Amino acid sequence: MNKPTPSYCARVARVLAKTYPAAKCELDYRTPLQLLVAVILSAQCTDKRVNMVVPGLFKKYPDARHFSEVSQEDLEREIRSTGFYRNKAKNIRLCCQAIEERFGGRVPDTMEELLTLDGVGRKTANVILNVAFGKNEGVCVDTHVLRLSGRLGLSRETTPEGVERDLMKLFPRNQWGDITTWLIWHGRRRCNARKPDCAACELKPSCPSAGKFA
């Protein structure tokens, strides 16, 4: 695989932007805290399932204080259908306790502070910073971004950390949040894991993996 050129990366961004002009985070939320909880719940779970759970959850627990005070057992019961519910409930409660005690009930808006919260790694922090606060501190590398970065020849790396470093070098900072969203949308709608639709893919003319999955 040749190193991607600036013109190739610009073409990828241009095509994805044209294909998905309305692309945005597909989790339902109204506040930074709600987004944070939704992102924690989305681990190993579809956004569709999370969006079925959060309306009632956010009505019952509208802020960090309410989430920090709910019992482990009650929260587990509320989020059971999202999978890995014991660990998610623990992280949400501890995370919200820290937000309430150390940040006055408000989700912090820096990478350094977000990474001190339970259940928050770089991927989650990047989502919160970009989507909730409009800050581009990095590229969120989920399973879709990881998969498409390899298929599109954007990175040889196999870890989220390595792929993030490559994407941050290839795309201008003001596109870091956008490239995340575009790749996620393309991964869900066209370039899925098992049977990508190469024949109809908008990136087919320049994609180094086009036709390999026929």
Amino acid at 177: G
Q: Which of these is catalytic: 123, 135, 197, 212?
A: 123
123 is catalytic: yes
User: Is 142 tagged catalytic?
Assistant: yes
Among candidate residues 28, 118, 142, 204, the one labeled active-site is: 142
Return the number of other C-beta atoms located less than 10 Å from residue 42's C-beta.
20
Residue 204 corresponds to which tokens in the numbers above? 């087919």
Catalytic residues: 123, 142
